């Protein structure tokens, strides 16, 4: 099997070593050193070249190096080329850590206490039990479902919302646009782990924030274009929202002087909620290639009609 990798070169070197070790006899090359392009079977990329099928006329599968595959321009990809997003335990664990950290920080009022520290103000506030804090996860896919586990174990009151109805032990689930309002009305900490599609673009807006209980908080770890920045700032100004942990923005990076950089109620991170980990991702890639070659369904195959 011939694989070409086109993404961050440093991490690519790790992928190369691991593929060589775990799939002896295969060929793994890093862009732009692609060898004979007519022999390339699989491309692992964040951004493929725009003339992908001219570059690789015999390409069998395009693998996204990340969990999202919204960065691809599908109009330029042949309709029958399978596109697969990354589902692997290292990436999932990273997101579990980030969301748990963010929820605990918000639950324990850390943005407020950090602001008080800057003002040299020693002022305790009443503590709330985890069981009285209602967490709501938007997107109950591989990441959304995984982040709920530690939150349930910590005793939070957990709910979730997805496009189609899900059944998750201990989690009250809602589905579809019709049930979004009911889900938001009971959510104190809203976590967005949705893919970016036509239906989720701009979803985190005033209309959404106004349906949350007064003083709710937001964790945005999905995709930047889902969040309306001005609407978030207005919701924070009016205290409809108390705080936000934002990992993804549109654009990335945020321009100098953007109000998020210095806002006391915003924790901003540079799209690091999670990352694909070569040690585990290589196994996921090789297992998917084996599935593809034996005619089984690949894990993470993008459904182009659905948009994710
Ligand atoms: P999945 O495809 O496994 O899950 C997506 C979930 O979102 C599903 O539950 C799906 O519903 C739901 N969904 C999709 N569209 C809608 C909609 N219109 N309304 C309601 N629910 C919807 O994705 P993952 O869990 O693997 O990843 C989620 C996203 O997280 C990625 O697409 C990426 O954008 C983001 N991400 C961010 C990272 C970061 O570092 N910040 C790192 C990795 C991922 P259903 O169950 O019905 O299909
Ligand atoms: C991803 C990401 O999609 O890093 O993996 O956002």
Q: What is the pLDDT of residues 178-227, one digit of tens each?
A: 999 999 999 999 999 999 999 999 999 999 999 999 999 999 999 999 99
Q: Which residues contact 117 (CB under 8 A, 6 or more apart)?
A: none
Q: Is there a catalytic annotation at residue 271? A: yes
Give me the pLDDT at residue 2, please: 97
Domains of the chain: 2-88+276-293 (3.40.50.720), 90-268 (3.40.50.720)
The CA distances from residue 117 to 32, 101, 111, 259, 264, in Å, are 50, 20, 10, 21, 12
Catalytic position from the list 166, 229, 258, 271 = 271
| Cα angle 261-209-111, degrees, rounded to a multiple of 5 | 40
**Per-residue tens of pLDDT for the chain, all 308 residues:** 999 999 999 999 999 999 999 999 999 999 999 999 999 999 999 999 999 999 999 999 999 999 999 999 999 999 999 999 999 999 999 999 999 999 999 999 999 999 999 999 999 999 999 999 999 999 999 999 999 999 999 999 999 999 999 999 999 999 999 999 999 999 999 999 999 999 999 999 999 999 999 999 999 999 999 999 999 999 999 999 999 999 999 999 999 999 999 999 999 999 999 999 999 999 999 999 999 999 999 999 999 999 99
Name which of 275, 271, 260 is nearest 111 in CA terms: 260
Cβ(68) – ligand 1 distance below 6 Å: yes
Give me the pLDDT at residue 205, please: 99
pTM value?
A: 0.97
- Measure 275 CA to ligand 2 centroid, in angstroms: 6
138 Cα nearest atom in ligand 1: 21
Q: Is there a catalytic annotation at residue 223? A: yes
Give me the pLDDT at residue 136, please: 99
Give me the pLDDT at residue 198, please: 97
Cα distance between residue 307 and residue 199, in whole Å: 9
Q: Give the β-pairing of 216-220 and 189-192.
A: parallel
Q: Average model confidence (pLDDT) for the chain?
A: 97
How many beta carbons lie within 10 A of that of residue 64, not counting itself? 24
Q: What is the pLDDT of residues 132-169, one digit of tens each?
A: 999 999 999 999 999 999 999 999 999 999 999 999 99
Cβ(67) – ligand 2 distance below 6 Å: yes
Q: Name the E strands within 54-162.
A: 61-64, 83-84, 134-138, 157-162
Cβ(68) – ligand 2 distance below 6 Å: yes
Give me the pLDDT at residue 55, please: 94
SS3 category, 253: coil
Cβ(144) – ligand 1 distance below 6 Å: yes
Pocket test for ligand 1, best of 194, 245, 249 (most atoms within 8 A of CB): 194
């Amino acid at each position: 099997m011939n694989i070409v990798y086109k993404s961050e070169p440093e991490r690519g070197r790790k992928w190369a070593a691991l593929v060589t070790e775990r799939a002896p006899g295969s060929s793994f090359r890093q862009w732009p050193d692609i060898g004979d392009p007519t022999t390339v079977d699989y491309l692992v990329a964040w951004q493929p070249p725009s003339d992908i099928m001219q570059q690789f006329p015999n390409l069998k599968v395009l693998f996204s190096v990340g969990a999202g595959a919204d960065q691809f321009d599908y109009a330029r990809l042949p309709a029958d080329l399978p596109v697969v997003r990354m589902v692997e335990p290292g990436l999932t664990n990273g997101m579990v850590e980030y969301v748990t950290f963010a929820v605990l920080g918000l639950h324990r009022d850390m943005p407020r206490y950090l602001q008080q520290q800057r003002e040299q103000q020693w002022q305790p506030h009443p503590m709330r039990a985890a069981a009285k804090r209602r967490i709501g996860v938007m997107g109950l896919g591989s990441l959304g479902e995984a982040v709920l586990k530690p939150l349930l174990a910590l005793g939070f009151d957990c709910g979730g919302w997805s496009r189609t109805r899900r059944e998750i032990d201990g989690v009250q689930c809602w589905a579809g646009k019709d049930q979004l309002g009911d889900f938001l009305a009971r959510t104190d900490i809203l976590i967005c782990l949705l893919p970016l599609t036509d239906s989720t673009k701009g979803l985190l807006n005033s209309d959404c924030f106004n349906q949350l209980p007064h003083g709710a908080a937001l964790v945005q770890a999905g995709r930047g274009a889902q969040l309306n920045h001005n609407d978030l700032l207005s919701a924070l100004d009016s205290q409809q929202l108390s705080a936000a942990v934002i990992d993804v923005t549109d654009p990335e990076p945020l321009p100098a002087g953007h109000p998020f950089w210095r806002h006391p109620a915003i924790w901003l991170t540079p799209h690091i909620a999670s990352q694909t980990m070569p040690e585990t991702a290589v196994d996921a890639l090789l297992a998917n290639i084996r599935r593809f070659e034996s005619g089984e369904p690949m894990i993470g195959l993008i459904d182009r009609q659905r948009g994710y």
